[in-house]
Amino acid sequence: MSDAAAKLLEQAIDLPLEDRREVAERLMESVELEESFPPDPEYLAEIIRRSDEAHAHPDRLIPWDEARKAIRAELARRRAAREAGGAG
């Protein structure tokens, strides 16, 4: 472990439990992302940005059932427009 990492770890260990848990979860997410996806820096940056946004604003998240319903309605609308000869 580098000196910088050791110093950061020491600081993190002094955080309250909930903050340590959040830091640990975010670190594991970043490791899992990097191991799971191609190491395309722009792609990873976008995933991390979206994850950060979701963590910062959980009230903006849409439940899956609601999102699926909206997606299916949009697909049906596009299909109907295509069948009617519209651009969709």
Is the entire prediction scored with pTM above 0.85?
Answer: no
Of 57, 62, 51, 60, nearest to 25 by C-alpha is 51
Q: Tell me, yes or no, whether 40 and 18 share the same domain.
A: yes
Q: Which two tokens stand for residue 17?
A: 């439990």
Backbone angles phi, psi at 40, to 5 degrees: -85, 110
75 and 36 fall within a common domain = no
Q: Which domain holds residue 37?
A: 3-56
Write the pLDDT tens digit of every residue in 6-64: 999 999 999 999 999 999 999 998 888 777 766 688 888 898 899 999 999 999 999 99
Both 67 and 52 in a single domain?
Answer: no
Asked if residue 7 and residue 45 are part of one domain, the reply reads: yes
Closest CA to 33 of 22, 46, 19, 15: 46
